[in-house]
């Protein structure tokens, strides 16, 4: 009787051992673990994948400055590169849609499709497109951040707009909803930042100034950081 019960105890213990060992990997590799909301307050930017999209590039200069001598494609690339450095220093992984003066496109996908493809394939946490604004009315100056669709995109837009305007001391046009292609087709919270009006002589000069561009990068960076620290829970992907 005594021997029998100890055999059963051994079988039971072996069963527990294999059962817990067998399911351990499953839990860690996905399944239940992914359904548990993770607190992002302490995580911040660490481990986040962020796609930075400097608008235009190559043959596509974007808006041309009031003087005719500066281009949107150049201004936004400088801002994007500094933003990349800041995000990486904070522990994020950054994917750029372009890092040089080229138009990101292939034979089968145009530049807008390619920008979206890069973001969706990277399964990015955020998509940030950087642009300069332009208007026929050369008196217009200021900063606008666009979003489309989700509440998270709106919250990201509000966060970035607020800190960008604070960093630049620029005129605040607020956040606006607009169905831009890159905002409509990206599957993660996405914004399009119009840093300032290149069509205005005064703001064109500011946008071409390295110190001003650096402040723009800092403003966008702070806004992204705030976005992650203010989201108490992250929804599972």
Nearest to residue 223, comparing CAs of 177, 170, 157?
Answer: 157
- Residue among 53 and 125 whose Cβ is closer to Zn ion: 53
Alpha carbon distances (Å) from 178 to 13, 57, 211: 61, 22, 30
If binding is defined by CB under 5 A, does position 62 make contact with Zn ion? yes
Strands (E), 134-189: 143-147, 172-177
Under DSSP, the state recorded for 60 is B
Nearest to Zn ion of 55, 189 (CB atom): 55
Residue 55 or 142: the one with the smaller Cβ distance to Zn ion is 55
Q: Which is nearer to Zn ion, 55 or 196 (CB)?
A: 55
The 115-154 site mask, x for binding Zn ion (CB under 5 A), equals ----------------x-----------------------
53 membership: H or E segment, kind and range: strand 49-54
CB of 131 to Zn ion, least distance (A): 3
Binding of Zn ion at residue 55 (CB under 5 A)?
Answer: yes
Q: How far is CA 119 from CA 15, 131, 220, in A?
A: 45, 17, 18
Shortest distance (Å) from residue 170 CB to Zn ion: 17
Size of the site for Zn ion (CB under 5 A): 3
Interface residues with Zn ion (CB under 5 A)? 55, 62, 131
């Amino acid at each position: 009787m005594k021997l029998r019960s100890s055999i059963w105890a051994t079988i039971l213990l072996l069963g527990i051992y294999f059962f817990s060992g067998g399911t351990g990997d499953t839990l860690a590799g996905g399944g239940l673990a992914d359904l548990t909301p993770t607190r992002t307050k302490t995580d911040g930017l660490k481990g986040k994948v962020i796609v930075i999209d400097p608008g235009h590039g190559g043959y596509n200069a974007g808006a041309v400055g009031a003087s005719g001598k500066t281009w949107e494609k150049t201004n936004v690339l400088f801002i994007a590169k500094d933003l990349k450095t800041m995000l990486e220093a904070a522990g994020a992984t950054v994917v750029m849609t372009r890092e040089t003066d080229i138009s990101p496109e292939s034979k089968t996908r145009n530049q807008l499709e390619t920008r979206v493809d890069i973001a969706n394939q990277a399964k990015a946490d955020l998509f940030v497109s950087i642009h300069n604004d332009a208007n026929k009315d050369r008196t217009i100056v200021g900063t606008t951040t666009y979003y489309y669709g989700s509440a998270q995109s709106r919250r990201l837009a509000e966060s970035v707009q607020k800190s960008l305007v604070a960093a630049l001391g620029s005129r605040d046009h607020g956040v606006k909803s607009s169905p831009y292609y890159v905002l409509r087709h990206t599957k993660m919270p996405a914004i399009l930042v119009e840093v300032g009006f290149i069509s205005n002589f005064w703001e064109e000069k500011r946008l071409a100034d390295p110190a001003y561009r650096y402040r723009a990068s800092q403003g966008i960076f702070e806004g992204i950081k705030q976005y992650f620290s203010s989201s108490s829970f992250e929804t599972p992907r």
